[in-house]
Structure 1
Amino acid sequence: MDEMDKLDKLETFLLDMAAKCKTLNNENKDWYEIMDYVSILRNQTEQLTGNNDLRINELKSVLAYLVNEKQAAIQENILLDSIVKSLLELSDNCILGVINKCFDKNYRNNVKIDYMKNNFVDPFNNFAKTETDVLLKINEYYHHIEIQTLNDTAMPMRLIKYALNIAERQDESNTKSKSKSKKNNYNMPLQAVIFLEQNNNILDQALKISFESGNEWNYSVNTIRFWKYDIESLISEKMYCLLPLVVFKYRKEFQSIVKSKKKNRKIEEDLEKKANQLKETAEKVALTITQLANDNIISHNDMRVMLLALTNLTQHLIKKFVPHSIIGEEVGTMVKDLYDPEVEKKGKIEGQIEILYKMKMNEKEISQKLKLPIEKVKEIIKELKSNGTIEEETFDMAKDLYDTKVEKRGIEKGIAIGQVKILYGMKMDEIEISKQLKMPIDVVKEIIEELKL
């Protein structure tokens, strides 16, 4: 076979793969197999030389493009995985609704939730490392949640493997503290799968194992179809931590537009229109999250992580499908404008609690003084203790409150206002407050003027 025949075959093969890639999603197993072949072909093509340099370079360019597509898809999955895991590691109150929905439970706010080690080594699969998405221990029982973007027919078998790994680790832990007669008494974890992206072919996750003896074992796992939830239903079910993922539904809608057979100009118009709809949804989600924090339903840290997740996911989708649009920047600005006042507000409350706590008031007294829920007071005191703030005998307020990062700047300013407000209410004058807080007198005066307005 001469060089021309080889190039003809390679070109035909590439065109066939490119056509398949357009019809497959980047989480489809076949898509990854195709992309693996592309990577191999690219390495082999690098060695091609001859009288058809121009044609060879064109083929190399196509291969490079496809390889980059593969890397972009992997990076997207990594981003989504990180976002989802961070959301499911928020405060107990923020994630409890998701746990109750996934496992048909009715756990209360005072339940103890422990996050467990979730990576395993499989000695029967070349010692490959596997990692579950979320593994929790609640009331001595293990709860395992997997997040899946698309349909995967192999999911039930993977869940069985995960469950056995978890049960084995639990058995090993039990035998360290109990008699050896308990060994191999496996307790399978409760399991649930959350499917994010709409697909009517997704079935309830179940598996039937038949034995030669005629016995059968039916194994089923709770299956949550996230696309059926909107902002209102997530709030109703108290599934607060998943609110940022509402915008993920736009990925499939963007992909549908890109794969349409419309003219390029019409596709661009439709993408821009869809990006604006995404922006509106993101704004609504952001306002909802902020309101939950205002109502003390979720913590300030919950709000911060959720808004960051919302911003990252929204901007990623816009950058991917509408790369020249400024809508992504507008979303970032919108979230920042919502977030900054909340940061400063939290700082004011922290400053007041810090002063009262150092005046030897207990949590109940501080709660009554500031008319705050006692749980909120406990949470802030815990934060102040963890960062060492309330262990200091004196206050160390930076001279310039406006030279640090946005969050730190907002919190410090809010703390300063809260501290000054308490001491000013105790009839201290400006000089006394300045000495007490080790704060520049001009800053004290400025804050007092703001308080008088």
Structure 2
Amino acid sequence: MNEKRKARSKQNKQERIKLDQIMRVLFKLSKNLTIELINGLFNETFYGPEVKIRYGNSEFISDEYDRIIGDMFITVESKHKTFHFHIEFQTLNDETMVIRMFRYGFEKALEHATSLEANNKVPREKKVFLFPKQLVIFLEENEAVDDTLSLILRLSNGHELTYDVDVMKYWKHTPESLRHQRMYALLPLLVFQSRKRMRTISTSNRPETEKRQLMAAQFEQLKRTIQQTLEVLGELHDTHQIKVGDLERILRVIQNITDYLYNRYGQYKEMEEEINHMRKSIFDPKIRKEAKLEGKKEGKLEGKLEGKLEGKKEGKEEVAKRMLLKGLDIPSIVEFTGFTKEEVEQLQQ
């Protein structure tokens, strides 16, 4: 049992790293998309050309050398004011989340106060701790998640302060609702919503035949979600609300998540061609059209996109080969690269 727990802990850590990487891609798209995302998440009204964006430090070391790492800290600077935001991404409901949010907020406020003091912008005898505006995005459906995370700070003089953090229940969103709120960068994560249901089926004690039937139904639902997401992305591209560079990154995220789901919970090879056909049927004509409008030779821009995807695959093969040379086991290589067991064994040969 101890070995199973260790394996599960290792797997959860790898999945967390993967999710962190995906979030960093989505929150670092073009400036306009990032501003639209911040406006949607925090009910702001920033106008892209009038502000600057900075990404802040997310790793803090205490006096006891205890390290804590947050997900995303963003600063938006206008001509007259600076705004600080902090976003955390969660899959599972965690009772300690509000405590961690307080720690993250406090460390960022301390960092900010220390910086102001060092630059002589505030008197040393008057410290001001400015917490960033915070939000936790829960990706997977969970009825136990409240609309707000709260804790009470009881001071020695008897005064009490309530500390609240807003929550976004991502599972309640659809492609249309994300589009309406102009949170285009979060569209790829709709694919991620299938993970919890697939994991529940996979770990249940149902007969294998029933598991296969239920999993097949989930993959059909996943395909419908991908289809709807791609259609919305196509319309956004047509209306010039998403540029090709952002579109490439968003498509890679969708591909990355579906690779993970298919490799972990299904037969990827049986579904890969169908998903690729969806993508090409929607985007290849649009890319050719854009290339013509820009006066480029037809296929040049499309070739660039396909070339990047092919290059990504070749890069993953090199990573897998190096892992094999270092003696890593095949299941670990499958987890890290997204290749199937058979593909890794072929590389090994």
User: Taking structure 1 as the reference length, what is the TM-score of the superposition?
Assistant: 0.61
Q: Which residue of 2 aligns with 1:89?
A: 28
Alpha-carbon spacing, 1:116–1:324, altered in 2? closer, same or farther (3 Å): closer
Measured after TM superposition, the shift of residue 314 of structure 1 is 1.6
Contact 1:192–1:222, Cα closer than 8 Å, also in 2: yes
Compare the two structures and name the one with the higher strand fraction: 2
Superposition pairs of residues 240-255 of structure 1, within 5 angstroms: 240-255=184-199
Contact 1:171–1:186, Cα closer than 8 Å, also in 2: yes
Q: Which residue of 1 aligns with 2:142?
A: 199
- What SS does the aligned partner of 1:288 have? helix
Distance (whole Å) between structure 2 residues aligned to residue 222 and residue 106 of structure 1: 18
| 2:208 is aligned with 1:287 | no
Distance (whole Å) between structure 2 residues aligned to residue 89 and residue 276 of structure 1: 31
User: Taking structure 2 as the reference length, what is the TM-score of the superposition?
Assistant: 0.77
Contact 1:103–1:222, Cα closer than 8 Å, also in 2: no
Q: Count residues in correspondence.
A: 303
Measured after TM superposition, the shift of residue 303 of structure 1 is 1.2
Distance (whole Å) between structure 1 residues aligned to residue 58 and residue 200 of structure 2: 35
- What SS does the aligned partner of 1:326 have? helix
| 2:107 is aligned with 1:168 | no
Q: Which residue of 2 aligns with 1:267?
A: 211
Contact 1:401–1:409, Cα closer than 8 Å, also in 2: no
Give the partner amino acid of 1:262.
R
| 2:78 is aligned with 1:135 | no
Per-residue Cα deviation, 1:401-447 (whole angstroms, up to 9, x for no partner): 79x7654699xxxxxxxxxxxxxxxxxxxxxxxxxxxxxxxxxxxxx
Contact 2:73–2:84, Cα closer than 8 Å, also in 1: no
* Relative contact order, higher structure (CA 8 A, sep 6+): 2
| 2:165 is aligned with 1:221 | yes
- List runs of 5+ in structure 2 lacking aligned partners: 310-349
Distance (whole Å) between structure 2 residues aligned to residue 409 and residue 198 of structure 1: 34
Distance (whole Å) between structure 2 residues aligned to residue 401 and residue 256 of structure 1: 44
Alpha-carbon spacing, 1:135–1:401, altered in 2? closer, same or farther (3 Å): closer
Contact 2:61–2:68, Cα closer than 8 Å, also in 1: yes
Distance (whole Å) between structure 2 residues aligned to residue 274 and residue 312 of structure 1: 18
Alpha-carbon spacing, 1:92–1:292, altered in 2? closer, same or farther (3 Å): same
Measured after TM superposition, the shift of residue 337 of structure 1 is 4.5
CA RMSD of aligned residues (A): 2.9
| 2:282 is aligned with 1:343 | no
| 2:275 is aligned with 1:331 | yes
Alpha-carbon spacing, 1:269–1:162, altered in 2? closer, same or farther (3 Å): same
- What SS does the aligned partner of 1:221 have? strand
Superposition pairs of residues 315-330 of structure 1, within 5 angstroms: 315-323=259-267, 326-330=270-274
Alpha-carbon spacing, 1:91–1:225, altered in 2? closer, same or farther (3 Å): same
Contact 1:247–1:313, Cα closer than 8 Å, also in 2: yes
User: Which segment is superposed worse, 172-181 or 284-293?
Assistant: 172-181
Give the partner amino acid of 1:147.
F
- What SS does the aligned partner of 2:49 have? coil
Give the partner amino acid of 1:284.
Q
Measured after TM superposition, the shift of residue 67 of structure 1 is 4.7
Alpha-carbon spacing, 1:99–1:401, altered in 2? closer, same or farther (3 Å): closer
Superposition pairs of residues 42-61 of structure 1, within 5 angstroms: none
Q: Which residue of 1 aligns with 2:44?
A: 105
Superposition pairs of residues 378-393 of structure 1, within 5 angstroms: none
Contact 2:91–2:140, Cα closer than 8 Å, also in 1: yes
| 2:251 is aligned with 1:312 | no
Q: Which residue of 2 aligns with 1:394?
A: none
- List runs of 5+ in structure 1 lacking aligned partners: 1-13, 15-36, 39-62, 353-396, 411-453
